[in-house]
Amino acid sequence: MLQQEKVFKTLADNGITFFTGVPDSYLNGFCNYALENCGEKNIIAANEGNAIGIAAGHYFATKKIPLVYMQNSGMGNSVNPLASLVDKDVYAVPMLLLIGWRGQGNTEPNHPQHKLQGEITPEILEMLHIPYSILTDSDDYFDTVIKNAVKYCLETRQPYGLIAPKGVMAAADKPNNRDNIYPLSREEAIELILEHMPRDAVYTATTGRATRELFFLREKRNETKARDFLNVGSMGHGSSVALGIALETPDRKVVALDGDSAAIMHLGAMTMVSKLSVPNFMHVVLNNGAHESVGGQPSAGHCIDFTSIADACGYATVHHPVTTAYELIEAIHTLKDCGRASFIDCRIHKGLNRKLPPIIFDHRSAIDDLIAELNG
């Protein structure tokens, strides 16, 4: 595990003082140090492509090399701007890309959503003609890599990749920064939704803690998991999966249990209901204002008005966030049969339930059960 104070000193000594990206648990030591020490020189972006754009703008305005951080699962969001904005034949933008390497080798045996991504992480950089180094726990090696990477960036005006395997850029422990801003936890909110929607409702749960909490709530309540889609990968697309299901199952309620960071990542998906008739679709953002599953770094969730955005996109809403059990229940009963796609911004507090183990399940069997349920 690299010492982050030394990491940031090495970066500063080589002129790297601006950081932007999407937090990752493999990089949470790095991300949390940047959050605590870099102020406005650390911009947590909506998605990885957004971060590449911000970094390009920083370079244009300062001629200084930025660093973009991301989990390798987010590389897909960055491919287009890397290929068509920063490439040497377009605007030639140098930057360092710090990438958490989930799925390397057999490091994630219970998470097949990372397997292929882990295999192709170096290949994506190679296809983009971006050279890279694989980091280790050696401070001396890190110093050498950064000097060579910055030299390359300055000479070529091109990106350079820094791939971080498990443990190299992580913190000793994942923080659990509970706050008391709002009374409901995510788990409590999900259970209230289960209790007040029809028993045959179909659910999609977004990447991160919502999938784990829905999974174990079903076990606690002795309920089938065959009506649930656990969006363990493809962050930000859980609501789109729910919309696709809702369009083809008009007689079933379909609920997207979304997260604020996931919703922000692909906010444009919310506009789809403006041109579609999906009165059976309910989109709930469980909004704790944080990237909680990867270290608790702040999102823009509590800074923006999701409800006004949803109103403008054509959803039915109760015109304000809900913050208590009573308000959530009231909103569910107001909206579930309102005749239009509906949206709830459910404000919740931060905090992880440490008693829940990681979910281990057969992904193919789970999706086949859902397909059978929907086509039965």
Q: Compute mean pLDDT per 10 residues along the chain, 376 residues long, and list them.
A: 96 98 95 96 98 98 98 96 98 98 87 92 98 97 98 98 95 74 96 98 95 96 97 95 98 98 97 97 97 89 97 98 98 98 97 84 96 96
Handedness of CA 188, 194, 196, 202 (dihedral sign): positive
Q: Which burial class, exposed, middle or buried, applies to 252 when counting CB atoms under 10 A from its CB (0-12, 13-18, 19+)?
A: middle
Q: Which burial class, exposed, middle or buried, applies to 291 when counting CB atoms under 10 A from its CB (0-12, 13-18, 19+)?
A: buried
Pairing of the two strands 254-259 and 202-205: parallel
Q: How far is CA 232 from CA 79, 206, 218, in A?
A: 21, 7, 17
pLDDT of residue 122: 97
pLDDT of residue 357: 84
Nearest Cα residue to 10 out of 96, 114, 129: 96
DSSP collapsed to 3 states, 11-74: HHHCCCCCEEECCCHHHHHHHHHHHHHCHHHEEECCCHHHHHHHHHHHHHHHCCCCEEEEEHHH
Q: Report the distance separating Cα 309 and Cα 331, nearest Å.
A: 17
What H or E segment, with its residue span, contains residue 298?
strand 297-298
Q: How far is CA 294 from CA 6, 35, 90, 170, in A?
A: 22, 13, 34, 10
Q: What's the CATH architecture for 4-164?
A: 3-Layer(aba) Sandwich (3.40)
End-to-end CA distance of the chain: 51
Q: Report the distance separating Cα 340 and Cα 282, nearest Å.
A: 9
Residue 216 is classified by DSSP as: H
pLDDT of residue 176: 67
pLDDT of residue 110: 81
| Number of Cα atoms under 13 Å in the Cβ half of residue 227 | 18
Q: How far is CA 311 from CA 197, 268, 273, 274, in A?
A: 22, 14, 11, 10
CATH 3.40.50.970 domain span(s) along the chain? 4-164, 186-374
Nearest Cα residue to 162 out of 189, 142, 133: 133
CB atoms within 10 A of CB 180: 8
Is 170 in a helix, a strand, or coil?
Answer: coil
Q: CATH fold of 186-374, please? A: Rossmann fold (3.40.50)
Which two structure tokens, joined as six digits, stand for 111?
A: 């998470």
Q: Report the distance separating Cα 33 and Cα 233, nearest Å.
A: 26
Q: Report the distance separating Cα 44 and Cα 34, nearest Å.
A: 10
Which two structure tokens, joined as six digits, stand for 184?
A: 């409901």
Nearest Cα residue to 283 out of 258, 314, 247, 253: 258
Nearest Cα residue to 38 out of 74, 5, 77, 2: 5
